[in-house]
């Protein structure tokens, strides 16, 4: 079995090389590296939207924000309005308490903000209060920021440069999802060239065919990742975790692809389904930049925990459990889809469509 498996894997790699897929993968890795290094800025920070509820009689903080006209500010006039406005994506709440002038400020974070963002915001508040009160306030003439409320406990970690922060997304979109195209394209090509007729009388089993395809896609994904990493993030990050996640992710997407590609008769029909599959599996990329976007259907996708595990592997924030969680969810996906892909391929390769 091991010899047949190696033979099938080598055959898949030869087909990939013969059809210039390998060259395309190498070119994509170089292009992504060039875009990351030379086109995407390292810093793309923006001020987060602020929800301000000034309960003081003087309303001096509200007036200051209205006059400044900097950033996006939402003004609340009641507790209900304040809570409702905070339901918006990534908004930070400022509740100003006191008599005529501010005496206390409570800050509400969503939980996704970096420590740098929080310190900058609190320093800005202190500067505004110092200007309003003429330097009066706490020790040293600064106004302290009082209790903080965190609505959702996120994993902010250290904010990497913006261009390097995109590397996990590139890895997800290419190294992992390349199996969505390549595995299906190879299956359809074998059907159109009728090479699967020879497979019907070969001693190799359907499981070996699936395993060989998974190994080939996993090896290509790892090769893409190594090239991109060396040209962008270098040797930084948790390489074992990165390569494990990439290889497993490629295996998962290959299994899913083989399951649905077996129902298409030609490449044109498959491409339509491939576009839908790629779109669905890349939706979690939005959650990567906007973590509060995490509806249940998105969290069920195997690419959702994987993109956060990749971020943790590249830019550790002290939560290595994300890798285990991603591996667990991808393992569950494999358990669900392996019987489906074995049945579908058995039907196609041994008795279904020629």
pLDDT per residue as tens, the chain (354 positions): 677 667 767 766 666 666 556 666 677 677 767 766 675 555 545 566 788 888 888 788 888 877 766 667 888 888 888 888 877 656 788 888 877 777 788 888 776 666 667 777 777 777 777 776 665 554 444 566 666 666 555 444 456 777 788 888 888 887 777 777 777 777 777 666 655 555 555 555 778 888 888 888 888 889 889 998 998 888 888 899 999 999 999 898 888 888 887 777 777 677 766 777 777 777 787 777 776 666 777 788 888 888 888 888 888 876 778 888 889 988 998 999 899 888 887 776 655 444
Are residues 136 and 60 located together in one domain of the fold? yes
Query: Please, how many CA atoms are within 13 Å of residue 297, restricted to the half-sphere of its CB?
Result: 4
> Of 124, 150, 176, at which residue does a domain stop?
150
Are residues 108 and 176 located together in one domain of the fold? no
Asked if residue 126 belongs to a domain, the reply is yes
Are residues 217 and 141 located together in one domain of the fold? no
Asked if residue 300 belongs to a domain, the reply is yes
272 phi/psi in degrees, rounded to 5: -65, -45
Asked if residue 137 belongs to a domain, the reply is yes
Are residues 111 and 214 located together in one domain of the fold? no
pLDDT value, residue 154: 47
- Give the integer Cα–Cα distance in Å for 286 and 300: 15
Tokens of 332: 């569950």
Whether the pTM exceeds 0.75: the reply is no
- Give the integer Cα–Cα distance in Å for 13 and 233: 28
Asked if residue 156 belongs to a domain, the reply is no
Asked if residue 313 belongs to a domain, the reply is yes
Are residues 222 and 97 located together in one domain of the fold? no
pLDDT value, residue 44: 47
CA distances for 211 relative to 12, 106, 165, angstroms: 11, 56, 32
The tally of domains found in the chain comes to 2
Are residues 269 and 343 located together in one domain of the fold? yes
Are residues 31 and 116 located together in one domain of the fold? no
Are residues 117 and 255 located together in one domain of the fold? no
Are residues 141 and 19 located together in one domain of the fold? no
Task: Using DSSP, state whether 54 is helix, strand or coil.
Answer: strand
Asked if residue 155 belongs to a domain, the reply is no
Are residues 345 and 233 located together in one domain of the fold? yes
> Of 130, 150, 170, at which residue does a domain stop?
150
Long-range contacts of 11-17, Cβ-Cβ distance < 8 Å, separation of 24 or more:
11/212, 12/186, 12/212, 12/213, 12/216, 13/216, 13/219, 15/186, 15/189, 16/182, 16/186, 16/216, 16/220
User: Could you list the residue range(s) of the whole structural domain that residue 245 is in?
Assistant: 2-41+161-350
Are residues 298 and 266 located together in one domain of the fold? yes
- Give the integer Cα–Cα distance in Å for 33 and 27: 10
pLDDT value, residue 138: 46
Asked if residue 110 belongs to a domain, the reply is yes
Closest CA to 327 of 255, 246, 220, 239: 246
Are residues 296 and 340 located together in one domain of the fold? yes
- Give the integer Cα–Cα distance in Å for 278 and 16: 20
> Of 150, 169, 199, at which residue does a domain stop?
150
Asked if residue 9 belongs to a domain, the reply is yes
- Give the integer Cα–Cα distance in Å for 68 and 70: 5
pLDDT value, residue 246: 92
């Amino acid at each position: 079995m091991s010899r047949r498996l190696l033979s099938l894997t080598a055959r898949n790699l030869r087909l990939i090389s013969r059809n210039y897929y390998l060259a395309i993968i190498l070119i994509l890795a170089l292009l992504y590296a060039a875009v990351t290094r030379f086109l995407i800025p390292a810093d793309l920070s923006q001020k987060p939207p602020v929800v301000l509820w000034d309960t003081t009689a003087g309303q001096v903080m509200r007036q200051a924000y209205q006059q400044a006209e900097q950033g996006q500010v939402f003004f609340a006039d009641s507790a209900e309005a304040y809570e409702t406005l905070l339901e918006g994506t990534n908004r930070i709440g400022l509740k100003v308490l006191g008599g005529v002038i501010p005496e206390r400020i409570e800050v509400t974070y969503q939980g996704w903000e970096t420590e740098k963002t929080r310190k900058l915001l609190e320093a800005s508040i202190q500067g505004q209060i110092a200007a309003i009160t003429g330097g009066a306030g706490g020790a040293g003439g600064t106004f302290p920021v009082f209790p903080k409320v965190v609505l959702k406990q996120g994993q902010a970690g250290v904010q990497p440069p913006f261009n390097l922060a995109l590397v996990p997304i590139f890895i997800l979109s290419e190294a992992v999802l390349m199996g969505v195209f390549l595995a299906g394209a190879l299956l359809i090509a074998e059907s159109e060239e009728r090479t699967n007729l020879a497979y019907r009388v070969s001693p190799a089993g359907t499981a070996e065919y699936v395993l060989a395809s998974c190994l080939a896609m996993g090896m290509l994904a790892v090769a893409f990742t190594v090239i991109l990493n060396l040209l962008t993030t270098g040797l930084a990050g948790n390489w074992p975790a990165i390569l494990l996640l990439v290889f497993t992710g490629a295996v998962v997407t290959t299994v899913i692809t083989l399951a649905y590609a077996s129902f298409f008769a030609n490449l044109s029909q498959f491409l339509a389904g491939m576009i839908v599959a790629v779109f669905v599996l890349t939706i979690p990329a939005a959650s990567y930049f906007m973590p509060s976007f995490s509806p249940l259907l998105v969290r069920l996708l195997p690419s959702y925990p994987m993109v956060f595990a990749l971020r943790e592997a590249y830019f550790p924030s002290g939560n290595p459990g994300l890798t285990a969680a991603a591996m667990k969810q991808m393992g569950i996906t494999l358990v669900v889809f392996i019987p489906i892909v074995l049945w579908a391929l058995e039907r196609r390769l041994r008795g279904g469509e020629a």
